[in-house]
Chain A
Amino acid sequence: MALLDVRDLGVVFKRKGTRPFTAVDGVSFSVEPGQTVGLVGESGSGKSVTSLALMGLLPKRGAEISGSVTFEDTELLTLSDKQLRDRRGRDLGMVFQDPLSSLNPVITIGLQITEVLERHRGMSRKEARVEAAELLDRVGLPDPQRRLDEYPHQHSGGMRQRVLIAIALACRPKLLIADEPTTALDVTIQAQILSLLSDLVSETDTALIMITHDLGIVAGLCDNVNVMYGGRIVERAARHDLFERSRHPYTHGLLQSIPRLNAPRGEPLTPIRGSVSDNIEWEQGCAFAPRCPNATDVCWSEPPELKADDGRMLRCHNPVALGDAVTEGAL
C-alpha cells in the first residue's frame, strides 16, 4: 500500500481584483514507503505549490485546494490545523530551498532542533539537547556540542542546510519532502548535500520526494520521476525509462539541454526555446505547444490527457519517436 497517495490535486489562487490562477491542476502520484520520487520541471511549473499543499502550508486565505492527499489512510486535506500540526515534523518533514532564510536568525541552532524533539518525541530539554548533538553529528557538522549554542549567521549556507536536514529528520519521519534543497548552494556543496540526503533516507528507510529543476539530480537519486509542466504532470516514468527513452518533447528537451561530457566538441547545447510565459491555457490545448518542436494543429486545439503508454504515463499528442531518445549512458 502506498505511503502517500495524491489524487487529482488542484490549487487555485484567488485574490481580489485578479483573475483566479491555477497553479496546480489534476496532479496525481503516489509514494511507496522508502521510495524516492522526483518532481521535476522548470521554475514556475507548480512544484513548490504542490509540496506546500501536501504539507498544509499554503496560505489559508486565497488558496483553494481540491482533490485528495492520503497519508497512511489519513486524508490530510480535511484535517484541522491542530491535527496537521501533530503530524507535520513527526510523520512528514520538509527541507526548503533557501537555507539562509529558512532558519530563525535570533534563536540558537540548538533550540531550533530541540523544540521539534520536545514537541513530537516528548523529550525534556536536556534529553533533547543530547539527541540534537547526535543529529548534528549525523548530518556531518563538526563539533556538534558547540554548534548547539551558536546562531545561524555563524554558519555557511551548506552548514545551515545540514542543520535544516537534521531538523526535518529529527523525529524520523516516514516521508521527507526536499524542495530544491541544493539550488541555493555552491556546486561542490550541492553534491555533498545530495549524497548526505540519499545516505540518510536509505539508512532510515525514509521515503523522499525530491523536487528539482535539475534532471541531473534526479538521475542519481530517484526511483520514479514525475515531470511537471504548467501545473500538470506531463510524463511519469521509472528513472531508467525516462532517461533512456523520454517520450514527452518537454522531457526530451530538458535532457538535451544538459551538458554532456562525451558530446563531440563544438556541438551546441540545444535549450528548449521560449519560456514558461509563452504557455497557452491547458483548457485550449497543450500548454507546451508554443514551445514544442512536434506541435501540430491538434496540440493547439485539444488538451491532451495523461495516458498510460508503454509502461509510463504520458500527456502528449505527438510524443518523441523511440529512436530519438538520449541515452542515460551519454549523460
Chain B
Amino acid sequence: MLRFTVRRLLQAVPTLFVLSILVFAWLRLLPGGPATALLGDKATPERVAAMNAVMGLDDPIVVQYFRFLGRILTGDFGNSLITGDPVMEEVSWAFPATLELSVAAMFLAVLFGIPMGYIAARFRGRFLDNATVVTTLVGVAVPVFFLGFLLKYVFTQEMSLLPPSGRQDVLIDSTRVTGIATLDGLLTGEFDATWDAMLHLILPAVALASIPFAVIVRITRASVLDVQGEDFVRTADSKGLTTQVVRKRHVLRNALLPVSTTIGLQTGLLMSGAVLTEKVFAWGGLGTLLEQAIQQRDYPRLQGLILLFAVVFVLVNLLVDISYAIIDPRVRVR
C-alpha cells in the first residue's frame, strides 16, 4: 500500500511538469507576447521593448522556461496587475475560503448521496426509489446560481433563519489561523465564531453540493443494483450470512468502487460551481479573484490560479486512486 502510494506520487510529477509547460506556453502565445499582455494593447513599442528586456524575454525560450519553473517552484507567481500584490499572497488568502466551501459541499454530497443511492437501489421501482430519481434529476437540472438565490430567498428573507451572504458576521472579531473560518474558531477557542461561520457556510455549501450529490446518488444506485446481481453475492447468501453482512461486506464495498471515481471527478468540477456559488453568496474566495482576473486580463493572477487548480485536481485524483486501491486489491498490483 505504501509502495503504491509512493509510486502514484512519483507519477504525478511528470503530469505537473507537462502542466507547467502548458501554462508557460499559454502566456507566450498571447497576441503580442507577455509584455503586451502585461502593458495593455496601447503600449508603445519602446515600452514593450523595455519590458521584454526587463523580463528577459529576449533570452532563448528554454532558458526562459527554466527561469519560469524556478520562480514558480519558489512560490513566486509575480504580482497581480489589479492590486499590485504578489499573486501568491492573494491566492493563499482566498484559497482557504474556497477549500472550506468545496470540502463542506463534497462532505454533504457524500454523506447524503451514498445512503440515498443505496436506499433507492434497495427499494428499486417503488415509491422511495422513484422519488429519489426525480429529486436527483432536479438536482442536476437546476443551475447552481438559481438554487442559490432560491435558498437565500427561503431561508433568509422568508424565514430569517440563516445569514444571506459573506463568511462571517461583521460584529464577530476572530483570529485568523488557517483562514478556514469554521476551523479557526475551534483552534483559538472562539466557539461563537465557529458557530457563526457554520451558519454562513450552510446555504452556499448546500447550493454547491446539489450537483455532486445528485450524481453520487445515481452512480451509487446503479452500482448497487449491478453488484446485487453478481455471483459472489449469491455465494455470500448461500453461506447463510446475515443480510447485514451480505449488504455491507459484499454488496456495498464493491459498489463503492465506481462511486469513488465519481467523487474524484465531481471534486474537479466543483471548482467551476464554486465560482458561481461564491458570487451568489459574496463568498470572498478564489471565485472572486478569478472573475476579476478574467474581466481585467490580469495574466499573472490567472496563471497562478490555473496552476493552483491544476495542482488541486492532480492531488484529488491521487487521493481517489489511493482510496480505490484501499478498497480494491486488484489495483494495488498494477
Q: What is A's interface to B at a CB cutoff of 8 Å?
A: 55, 57, 81, 84-90, 93-94, 96, 98, 101-107, 111, 115-116, 119-120, 151, 153, 164, 167-168
- Residues of the B chain whose Cβ atoms lie less than 8 Å from the Cβ of A105: 232, 254, 328-330
B249 CB-CB contact with A under 8 Å: yes
Determine if B329 and A96 form an interchain contact, defined as CB atoms under 8 angstroms apart.
Answer: no
Interface residues of B in 210-254 (CB under 8 A from A): 230-232, 234-243, 245, 249-250, 253-254
- Min CB–CB distance A286 → chain B (angstroms): 33
Contacts of A151 in B (CB 8 A): 329-330
- Which residue on chain A has the smallest CB distance to residue B329? A151
Q: Is B327's beta carbon under 8 Å from chain A?
A: yes
The chain B residue with its CB closest to the CB of A150 is B329
Contact between A116 and B253 (Cβ–Cβ < 8 Å)? no
Measured CB to CB, the closest approach of chain B to A237, in angstroms, equals 29
A-B contacts, 13 of them at CB < 8 A, read A87-B240, A94-B238, A96-B231, A96-B234, A96-B238, A104-B249, A104-B253, A106-B257, A111-B249, A116-B239, A119-B240, A119-B241, A168-B238
Query: Can you list the 7 inter-chain pairs with the closest CB atoms, starting with the nearest?
Result: A89-B240, A88-B240, A89-B239, A101-B231, A151-B329, A94-B238, A104-B232
Question: Are A57 and B329 in contact, with the CB atoms below 8 A?
Answer: no
Q: Which residues of B contact A (CB under 8 A)?
A: 230-232, 234-243, 245, 249-250, 253-254, 257, 327-330
Complex interface: chain A residues within 8 A of B243 (CB): 81, 85
Q: Please, which residues of chain A bring their CB within 8 A of the CB of B234?
A: 57, 96, 102
Q: How far is the CB of B257 from chain A (nearest CB, A)?
A: 8
In the bound complex, CA of A90 to CA of B235 (Å): 14
Q: How far is the CA of A96 from the CA of B250 in the complex (A)?
A: 17
B7 CB to closest chain A CB (Å) equals: 19
Distance between B207 CB and nearest chain A CB, rounded to angstroms: 35
Taking CB atoms, residues of chain A closer than 8 Å to B240 are 84-90, 116, 119-120
CA distance A240 to B239 in the complex (A): 34
Chain A residues within 8 Å of B241, by CB? 85, 89, 115-116, 119
Residues of B within 8 A of A85 (CB): 237, 240-243
Question: CA separation between A86 and B242, bound complex, in Å?
Answer: 8
User: Assuming A101-B230, A101-B231, is B254 touching A57 (CB within 8 A)?
Assistant: no
Q: A107–B253 Cα gap in the complex (Å)?
A: 9
Known: A104-B254, A119-B239. 7 other contacts (CB 8 A): A55-B238, A85-B241, A85-B243, A101-B230, A101-B231, A164-B235, A168-B238
Known A-B contacts A89-B241, A107-B253; the reply to A96 vs B235 at CB < 8 A is yes
How many cross-chain pairs have Cβ atoms below 8 Å apart between A and B?
Answer: 82
B253: chain A residues within 8 A (beta carbon): 104, 106-107
For the complex, give the distance between the alpha carbons of A106 and B329 in Å: 6
Most chain B C-beta atoms within 10 Å of own C-beta, residue among A84, A85, A101: A85
A98 proximity list for chain B (CB < 8 A): 231
Q: Give the residue of B231, B257, B329, B330 whose beta carbon is less than 8 angstroms from that of A102.
A: B231
Give complex CA distance A116, B235 in Å.
11
- A88-B238 in contact given A101-B230, A115-B245 (Cβ < 8 Å): yes
Q: Are A115 and B242 in contact (CB under 8 A)?
A: no
B254: nearest chain-A partner, CB-CB: A106
CB pair B242–A107 under 8 Å, yes or no, is no
- Tell me the minimal C-beta distance from B332 to chain A in angstroms: 9
A119 to B241, CA, bound (A): 7
Q: How far is the CB of A111 from chain B (nearest CB, A)?
A: 8
Residue of A nearest to B228 (CB): A59
Give complex CA distance A115, B253 in Å. 16
Contacts of A102 in B (CB 8 A): 231-232, 234-235
Tell me the bound Cα distance from A119 to B249 in angstroms.
14
Q: How far is the CA of A167 from the CA of B238 in the complex (A)?
A: 10
User: Residue among B230, B234, B235, B330 with the most chain A CB within 10 A?
Assistant: B235
> B239 contacts A101, CB within 8 Å?
no
User: What's the minimum C-beta distance from A98 to chain B, rounded to whole angstroms?
Assistant: 6
Contact partners of A81 in chain B: CB under 8 A: 243
Query: Contacting B238 at CB < 8 Å: which of A93, A101, A115, A153?
Result: A93
> In angstroms, how far is the closest chain A Cβ from the Cβ of B191?
41
Chain A residue nearest to B246 (CB atoms) is: A85
- Chain A residues within 8 Å of B249, by CB: 104, 107, 111, 115
**List of A residues within 8 angstroms of B254 by Cβ:** 104-106
> Could you say which residues of chain B place their CB within 8 Å of the CB of A96?
231, 234-235, 238
Shortest C-beta distance, A131 to chain B (Å), equals 15
Min CB–CB distance B46 → chain A (angstroms)? 67
Q: How far is the CB of A141 from chain B (nearest CB, A)?
A: 18
Query: Complex formed: what's the CA distance from A38 to B253 in Å?
Result: 37
Please name the residue on chain A nearest to B227 by beta carbon: A104
B237 and chain A: residue at smallest CB distance: A57
Alpha-carbon separation in the docked complex, A253 to B234 (Å):
34
Contact call A104/B250, Cβ cutoff below 8 A:
yes
User: With a CB–CB cut-off of 8 A, which chain B residues contact A115?
Assistant: 239, 241, 245, 249
Which chain A residues lie closer than 8 Å to B245 at the CB level?
A: 115, 119
Q: Which of chain B's residues have a CB closer than 8 A to the CB of A111?
A: 249
How far apart sit A86 and B232, CA to CA, in the bound complex (Å)?
Answer: 19
User: Shortest beta-carbon distance, A269 to chain B, in Å?
Assistant: 33
Residues in B with CB closer than 8 Å to A164 are 235
Compute how far the CA of A103 lies from the CA of B236 in the bound complex, rounded to whole angstroms.
Answer: 9
A103 to B330, CA, bound (A): 13
Contacts of A106 in B (CB 8 A): 253-254, 257, 327-330
B329: which A residues are within 8 A, CB to CB?
105-106, 151, 153
